[in-house]
Amino acid sequence: MSQRPGFPVKLSQTGATGPARKVPAAVPARPAAKSNPVVAASQGASGARSRTASQVSGLGLDSGAVRARMVRKLAEQGVQDARVLEAMGRVERHRFVESALVNQAYEDTSLPIGLGQTISKPNVVARMVELLCQGLTGKLGRILEIGTGCGYQAAVLSHVASEVYSIERLRGLHEKARTNLRPFSLHNVHLIFGDGMLGYPKGAPYAGIISAAGGETVPDAWLDQLAPGGRLIAPTITPAGHQALVVISKTAQGYERQVLEPVHFVPLKSGIA
């Protein structure tokens, strides 16, 4: 594991929070495309032109163009932060999913990643990372991600933050993320195998904490490990009994909590397996 970087935690701006911007809810996923990935992905957009063989590269997927289309769609859906759109355009999502699902990698759909877990749909990843960045300018400081899964969101975070600590409780997925991320050589991503409900004190305090799994409450450890001016984004059960995105900002006066739109994340569980 990499050494903890020096103090103080780098926050691009402290104490700045603002009202959450409402964005349209994620669009329903389209049915799985069955044909060639390139054609399937590019034909998904209305008015998309057909592709010639010379435009097809790599895995049989002209992934730059298909990703650009995904990014345009994210912008249409309300994602505005240029840092987030750029990061979403950079990370090759198709390298994080099973080969049988590659043709759906740039659709706005969640996908299975094994062991009963799922990678969130791009719209949800972009929304969460945008919430993390809200009110802060420039690159974020250290970020803690709970639930590495396949490593996709950690890769996205690596482009908006100086350091990303990502913790996963399932050894199989921790190893899978390690394998998935290796070719990208993202030296600011640190993968940890452990129970994220305890946070990861060695990297604290964090400019931001983002959970990819939904709990009954936000663990105290996460609040303790958040830097002043930092933001925490977590799907959490609300008093009304459903799961919603909760944003908590740590200010000099205490914590500010906002409950946003309903979401459906896999459960936050304690212990390792």
Among 97, 131, 212, 218, binds ligand SAH (CB under 6 A): 212
Rg over CA atoms, the chain: 18
Q: Of 126, 170, 191, 227, which one interacts with ligand SAH (CB under 6 A)?
A: 170
Other C-beta atoms lying within 10 Å of the C-beta of residue 189: 24
Nearer to ligand SAH, 42 or 225 (CB): 225
Lookup: tokens for 128:
């969460």
How far apart, in whole angstroms, are the C-alpha atoms of residue 175 and residue 148?
Answer: 10
Which x/- pattern, by CB under 6 A, does the window 74-113 give for ligand SAH?
Answer: ---------------------------------------x
Burial zone of 109 (CB within 10 Å; 0-12 exposed, 13-18 middle, 19+ buried): buried
Confirm whether 42 is a catalytic residue: no
Using the contact rule CB under 6 A, the part of the chain among 7-15, 30-38, 41-49, 145-153 near ligand SAH is 145-153
In the 8-state DSSP scheme, what is residue 103? G
Catalytic residue among 42, 63, 120, 166: 120
Among 149, 199, 208, 230, binds ligand SAH (CB under 6 A): 149
When the beta carbons of 38 and 200 are compared against ligand SAH, the nearer one is 200
- Among 63, 117, 225, 249, interactor with ligand SAH by CB under 6 A: 117
Residues 6 or more apart whose Cβ sits within 8 Å of residue 31? none
Identity of the residue, 196 or 229, whose beta carbon is nearer to ligand SAH in the bound complex: 196
Neighbouring CB atoms inside 10 A of 120's CB total: 24
Task: Check: CB of residue 116 under 8 Å from CB of residue 138.
Answer: no
Query: Which of 94, 169, 231, 250 is in the footprint of ligand SAH by CB under 6 A?
Result: 169
Task: Give the contacts of 22 (CB within 8 A, at least 6 positions apart).
Answer: 78
What lies within 8 Å, CB to CB, of 234 at 6+ separation is 146, 209, 210, 211, 214, 215, 218, 222, 245, 246, 248
Q: Is residue 235 a contact residue for ligand SAH (CB under 6 A)? A: no
Given the complex with ligand SAH, which of 170 and 218 has the nearer CB atom? 170
- Output phi, psi for 210, to 5 deg: -135, 125
Q: Of 42 and 110, which CB lies nearer to ligand SAH in the complex structure?
A: 110
Tell me: does residue 209 bind ligand SAH (CB under 6 A): no
Q: How far is the CB of 85 from ligand SAH (least distance, A)?
A: 17
Does 270 interact with ligand SAH (rule: CB under 6 A)? yes
225 makes contact with ligand SAH (CB under 6 A): no
Q: Does 158 interact with ligand SAH (rule: CB under 6 A)? A: no
> Any residues with CB less than 8 A from the CB of 267 and at least 6 apart, and which?
213, 214, 215
Residues that are catalytic? 120
Q: Which residues bind ligand SAH (CB under 6 A)?
A: 113, 117-120, 146-147, 149-150, 152-153, 167-170, 173, 195-197, 212-213, 266, 268-270
